[in-house]
Amino acid sequence: MLPVKVLIADTVHPNDPGRIVEADLMAAGATAIVRLGAGELLADAVLREAPDLVIVDMARPDRDGLEDIRAISRHDPRPIVMFVDQDDPAFMEAAIEAGVSSYNVVGASLPVLKPVVQAAVAMFRRYRQVETSLHKAETSLREREVVDQAKALLMRQRGMAEPDAYRWLRRQAMEQSRKLAAVAADIVAAAEQKKGGGS
Amino acid sequence: MTVSRPVRMGLLRLTDSAPVIHAQTAGLFAAEGLDVTLSVEPSWANLADKLSYGLLDAAVMLPPLVLAMALGLRPAAARLIIPMSLSQHGDAVTLSNELAEPILAGGRPDDAEAGRRLATLLRARAQANGPRVTLAVVHAWSTHALLFKRWLHAAGIDPQADVDWAIVPPADSVAAIESGRIDGFCAGAPWGAVAAAAGVGRTVALSSDIMPGHPEKCLAVREAWAEEQPEALQGLLRALLRSAKDCADPANTPAIAATLAQPTFLNLPPDIIAASLPGGAREGVGQDTDVCRFAIPEATRPTLAQARWLLDQMARWRDLPVSAAEADTLATRIYRPDLYEAAQAVSISPY
């Protein structure tokens, strides 16, 4: 089961105890919960905590800070934003119908809260799985490329045959307890440095 | 004319919400047979979401945000139109006392000189390996962001490389400057004056100087609502034209400031609001706020030139996922001077 870290930003006023009950979220599938500190800006907390799910009260004016979170940092937490608002049950329905990654949870009423959080968590999991396999595919493609480059360099510079170049890389990797691709990347980087320094 | 259900309009706590608030409180909407409900929202994101989900029919909006929504640059894409602009000017660049004092020494210089002085301060900081400066705007897709970056760039400061950016709501900017989390912000009136009154910063440049005549807020309307209720939309525009005429007249400033000051609207001192309404003088509290402009037709006619300028400025600082030709098509779909002109033609008095 993938971990789902939830950031709750449901209090607008310092004396407001908040409406979301942490136990409800854990029951709904969250594995870690962080609450926004008093006086802390939502965007700062999102960047620091990199949560998988953000539950935010619509009444918070700093919600605007989430709109551009990707632009203000290279870090990309991909939060799913949920809105909490006691006054606006219609908002949640409309948001869910619109099929966007934004929902409105009304109050702390568990029957409403639970399925919405579950839906968000399930959606997040699907998203994360697709993203993880995509990332893996991209990484293995990049790794193969760099290993091929390093082999070509070894063949050219040391006159090795291709199987020997590969075996040499593998031995280096085993001796240094590192990944084959990391050793290959070092060789490619060193060759590029030499080329850059000589010109 | 009868309209079956109330027209739901959204706005934020800003001086340039005046045309909508005055139209409501002075009965100008009612005179057009319209039942309008106003909703004062805490954030631009709320206005955008509620327009997207059909929970608001119209709102006082940032035109770059309307364009960004149409381009799908925020989660809930929406089809909106802009049948009227609402204001020009009204934004202020407010810096922490530490940065503002050397810039304002000997009285406030013009905006270009103020920018050069800031550039000198930033260079000195960089040479001394001092902390980087963090500047804030109210929304990523705001006129404030475009104007702030334009001013910095003109002063030789690279807005992408030389400073860090934060998104901070105007009401939180006072606390954010005080705590040192940000070193300055650009926000709409009267928030520069609010920060100055709290003693946490001073205004060094006004948007009417940075770009005289720049478009500020607009009326954004859901395209589907406009198509379903063309008569209601025309009534809305006529009422807002009358309201803009009232708001543009300095003689009405004390009364309009008193209305805006009410707890249900801006909930701020009326003198601070009055300083940012027409006739507001650049002295006392007025030194730290720009004056909003509601003139007809310059500030109210939604022109394609405005749309093109905004898209051009947006593309200058960010990647837009459209070609120049596509942007032009988009601008033509969203900006609707034809609807504005139809309302103006049948308005009871010549503007």
Residue pair B45/B53 in contact (Cβ under 8 Å)? The answer is no
Quick one: pLDDT at residue A64? 79
Quick one: pLDDT at residue A198? 42
Within 8 A of A43 by CB-CB distance, chain B residues are 166-167
Q: At A154, which CATH number?
A: 1.10.10.10
Quick one: pLDDT at residue A152? 93
Quick one: pLDDT at residue B173? 86
Residue pair B246/B18 in contact (Cβ under 8 Å)? The answer is no
Hey, what domains does chain B have and what are their CATH numbers?
Answer: 7-88+215-346 (3.40.190.10), 91-210 (3.40.190.10)
Best residue in B41, B43, B71, B191 for a mutation probing chain A (most A CBs within 10 Å)? B43
**Residues A185 and A87 grouped into a single domain:** no
The minimum CA-CA distance between B346 and chain A, rounded to whole Å, is 37
**Residues A71 and A102 grouped into a single domain:** yes
Give the rounded distance of the alpha carbon of A66 from its chain centre: 15
Residue pair B101/B199 in contact (Cβ under 8 Å)? The answer is no
Characterize B21-51 residue by residue with b for buried, 16 or more Cβ atoms within 10 angstroms of its Cβ, and e for exposed. bbbbbbebbeebebebebeebbbbbbbbbbb
Strand pairing partners for A9?
A: A56
DSSP A108: T
Residue pair A53/A45 in contact (Cβ under 8 Å)? The answer is no
DSSP B82: E
Contact B42 A95 (CB under 8 A): no
Sign (positive or negative) of CA dihedral A93, A94, A98, A104: negative
- Interface check B136 vs A, CB under 8 A: no
Best residue in A64, A74, A88, A92 for a mutation probing chain B (most B CBs within 10 Å)? A64
**Residues A75 and A45 grouped into a single domain:** yes
**Residues A151 and A57 grouped into a single domain:** no
Contact A43 B167 (CB under 8 A): yes
**Residues A37 and A115 grouped into a single domain:** yes
Residue where one domain finishes, among candidates A119, A135, A151: A135
In whole angstroms, give the CA distance from residue A63 to residue A61.
5
**Residues A50 and A117 grouped into a single domain:** yes
C-alpha closest to that of B316 among B177, B121, B175, B152: B152
Quick one: pLDDT at residue A165? 92
Of all residues in chain B, the one with the smallest CA distance to A41 is B168
- Interface check B171 vs A, CB under 8 A: yes
Quick one: pLDDT at residue A142? 84
C-alpha closest to that of B291 among B223, B205, B190, B215: B190
Of all residues in chain B, the one with the smallest CA distance to A70 is B140
Q: What does each of the 199 residues of chain A score in pLDDT, given as a tens digit? A: 456 778 887 765 555 556 566 777 777 677 788 888 766 778 788 878 877 777 777 777 777 777 665 443 333 444 455 555 545 555 555 544 443 334 444 344 444 455 555 655 565 556 556 667 777 777 788 888 899 999 999 999 888 998 899 999 988 888 887 888 889 998 898 888 777 644 3
Q: At A107, which CATH number?
A: 3.40.50
**Residues A122 and A163 grouped into a single domain:** no
- Give the list of residues 6+ apart from residue A199 with CB closer than 8 angstroms, or none: none
**Residues A12 and A69 grouped into a single domain:** yes
In whole angstroms, give the CA distance from residue B142 to residue B313.
11
**Residues A110 and A31 grouped into a single domain:** yes
Contact A39 B139 (CB under 8 A): no
Q: Taking chain A, what is the end-to-end CA distance rounded to the nearest angstrom? A: 52
In whole angstroms, give the CA distance from residue B1 to residue B3.
7
Q: How many domains does chain A have?
A: 2
Query: Which token pair is A44?
Result: 């700062």
Best residue in A67, A73, A88 for a mutation probing chain B (most B CBs within 10 Å)? A67
Within 8 A of A68 by CB-CB distance, chain B residues are 139-141, 167
User: Closest to A91 (Cβ–Cβ): which among B45, B53, B181?
Assistant: B53
Angle at B16 between CA B53 and CA B30, to 5 degrees: 70
Within 8 A of A58 by CB-CB distance, chain B residues are 42, 46
Reported as type and span, the H/E element at residue A42 is helix A42-49
**Residues A180 and A128 grouped into a single domain:** no
Of all residues in chain A, the one with the smallest CA distance to B164 is A72
| Domain extent for A194 | 138-198
Within 8 A of B194 by CB-CB distance, chain A residues are none
Contact A71 B53 (CB under 8 A): no
Q: How many residue pairs bridge chain A and chain B with CB atoms within 8 Å of each other?
A: 79
C-alpha closest to that of A72 among B186, B148, B140, B315: B140
Quick one: pLDDT at residue B136? 95
The minimum CA-CA distance between B33 and chain A, rounded to whole Å, is 26
Quick one: pLDDT at residue A126? 63
Residue where one domain finishes, among candidates A109, A135, A161: A135
Q: Give the position of tokens 């027409």.
A: B278
Of all residues in chain A, the one with the smallest CA distance to B40 is A59
Quick one: pLDDT at residue B208? 96
The minimum CA-CA distance between B184 and chain A, rounded to whole Å, is 16
Contact B167 A102 (CB under 8 A): no
**Residues A9 and A37 grouped into a single domain:** yes
Residue where one domain finishes, among candidates A116, A135, A154: A135
In whole angstroms, give the CA distance from residue B315 to residue B156.
19
**Residues A104 and A19 grouped into a single domain:** yes
Question: CB A72: neighbour CB atoms within 10 A?
Answer: 16
Question: CB A32: neighbour CB atoms within 10 A?
Answer: 14
Residues of A with CB under 8 A from a CB of B: 39, 41, 43, 58-68, 71-72, 81, 83, 88, 90-91, 94-95, 98, 100-102
Rounded average pLDDT per 10-residue block, chain B, 351 residues: 76 97 98 96 87 90 94 79 98 97 94 97 95 94 96 96 90 88 95 95 96 97 96 97 97 98 96 96 87 94 95 89 88 96 77 45
Contact B42 A60 (CB under 8 A): yes
